[in-house]
């Protein structure tokens, strides 16, 4: 068994620090003690989400493809072991617990103000102790089917997934995280164990804890409670995605008072090492294009197309990169026309340097502020780890962004033939 290695990571800009521990079990621990904090927040994550449906391990000859929604299904089932549900155990320690599945990551978490080691034992036990039977898998199917039906009735979710289906031909990002009622009907205990054994290998996971904690206590806990695992070297595969969009427009009648829209711009997917910085550049660029200080905001409010600024998101990950603008308007097409006018102006003239500096400073201040909360510290450490960065690297990246980066991005990332609008009327 390998030795545990502890590394202290320090920010040269702020002096803040945290510990990266390569534990002998194969798990990476990210620990940020925060002096004076009462709360402890723990986040146990695996690099496994809804898009990872085609995979193999070092012990497999060929790739296999599993039903949509299985990562989310697995998350539900891990909260129930042979004796009781994990929530009952957390209730005894006073911790607040939850879990969530995303497109690329599944995470289990708790926060507490006391008894953090007792809650940590519950967390490490539930993630390491799968219990799937035909009976309990069948029982969960109805619960998740109801969750899918409820999600389909949420307008903001509906308009967004309609957009993804219009932007992406083959990439599984175009499918709801929970899958469909048809796909979850194919899930069996055997498939759940197959996915668990591939992706819940400790080498594919990270445990981030921030707030009131003692580093030595946490390492001792892991020495006693983590089961050393062999690295199965899970490998995922995605279908080839065309550069084109599926359709330039998708519209659906829905129960909404005012038409709701998402405008998406499909961009070239980036390798992991380039992704974080490009996301930051694109985020600043969207703020300059559509924020409250922008020409676009003035136009859409003066013409009474909208009374608030457009929502903005850089939506990106493994094999996908898109920019999304969201809002509600009686005339979404008029909003889209104004968006393109302002994009063309920005491509021609570039953005104002003073406004750029203000936005960059605001983003930098927001990034520093995130490290003032235990919850966001754990989240930022985890995101950075899976990008092979430290959370302090993100500060340095943001500081290095220039006006030229942003002006080049507006020319690079917006193309009329890669644009789609999704509308709910």
CB atoms within 10 A of CB 210: 28
Give the span between the Cα atoms of 152 and 187, in whole angstroms. Answer: 21
Three-class DSSP category at 96:
strand
**Strand order of the sheet with strand 54-56?**
64-65, 54-56, 235-236
Active-site entry in 16, 35, 75, 217? 75
Give the span between the Cα atoms of 398 and 43, in whole angstroms. Answer: 25
Let me know: does 53 contact 106? Beta carbons within 8 Å: no
Shortest CA distance to 424 belongs to which of 147, 151, 156, 150? Answer: 156
Paired residues of 18 in beta bridges: 9
Give the span between the Cα atoms of 320 and 174, in whole angstroms. Answer: 10
Look-up: residue for tokens 């968006």?
339
251 annotated active-site: no
Q: What residues have CB less than 8 Å from 4, skipping those under 6 apart?
A: 21, 22, 23, 24, 219, 223
Beta pairing, strands 249-252 & 419-424:
parallel
Spell out the alpha helix ranges (H) of 29-177.
70-78, 86-93, 116-128, 134-152, 155-167
Catalytic residues: 75
């Amino acid at each position: 068994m390998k030795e545990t290695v502890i590394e202290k990571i320090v920010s040269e800009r702020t002096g803040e620090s945290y510990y990266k521990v390569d534990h002998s079990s194969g798990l990476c621990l990210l620990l940020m003690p925060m002096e004076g904090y009462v709360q402890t927040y723990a986040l146990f994550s695996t690099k496994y989400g809804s898009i990872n449906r085609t995979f193999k391990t070092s012990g497999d000859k060929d790739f296999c493809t599993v039903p949509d929604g299985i990562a989310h299904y697995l998350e539900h089932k891990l909260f129930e072991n042979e004796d009781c549900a994990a929530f009952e155990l957390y209730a005894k320690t006073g911790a607040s617990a939850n879990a969530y599945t995303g497109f690329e990551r599944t995470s289990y978490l708790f926060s507490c103000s006391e008894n953090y080691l007792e809650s940590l034992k519950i967390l490490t036990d539930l993630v390491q102790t799968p219990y799937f039977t035909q009976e309990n898998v069948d029982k969960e199917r109805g619960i998740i089917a109801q969750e899918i039906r409820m999600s389909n009735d949420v307008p903001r979710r509906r308009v967004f997934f309609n957009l993804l289906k219009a932007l992406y031909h083959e990439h599984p990002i175009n499918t709801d995280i929970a899958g469909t009622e048809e796909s979850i009907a194919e899930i069996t205990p055997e498939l759940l164990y197959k996915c668990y054994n591939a992706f819940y290998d400790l080498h594919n996971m990270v445990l981030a804890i921030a707030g009131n904690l003692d580093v030595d206590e946490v390492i001792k806990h892991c020495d006693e409670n983590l089961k050393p695992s062999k690295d199965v070297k899970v490998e995922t595969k995605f279908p080839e995605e065309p550069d084109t969009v599926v359709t330039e427009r998708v519209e659906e009648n829905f129960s909404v008072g005012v038409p709701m829209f998402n405008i998406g711009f499909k961009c070239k997917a980036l390798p992991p090492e380039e992704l974080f910085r490009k996301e930051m550049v694109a985020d600043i660029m969207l703020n300059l294009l559509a924020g409250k200080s922008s020409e676009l905001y003035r136009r859409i409010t003066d013409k009474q197309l909208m009374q608030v600024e457009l929502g903005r998101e850089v939506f990106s990950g493994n094999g996908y990169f898109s920019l999304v603008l969201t809002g509600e308007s009686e005339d979404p097409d008029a909003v889209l026309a104004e968006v393109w006018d302002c994009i063309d102006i920005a491509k021609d003239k570039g953005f104002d340097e003073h406004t750029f500096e203000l936005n960059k400073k605001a983003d930098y201040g927001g990034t520093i502020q995130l490290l003032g909360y235990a919850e966001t510290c754990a989240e930022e450490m985890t995101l950075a780890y899976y990008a092979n960065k430290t959370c302090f690297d993100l500060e340095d990246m943001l500081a290095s962004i220039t006006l030229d980066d942003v002006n080049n991005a507006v020319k690079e990332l917006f193309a009329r033939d890669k644009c789609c609008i999704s509308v709910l009327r």
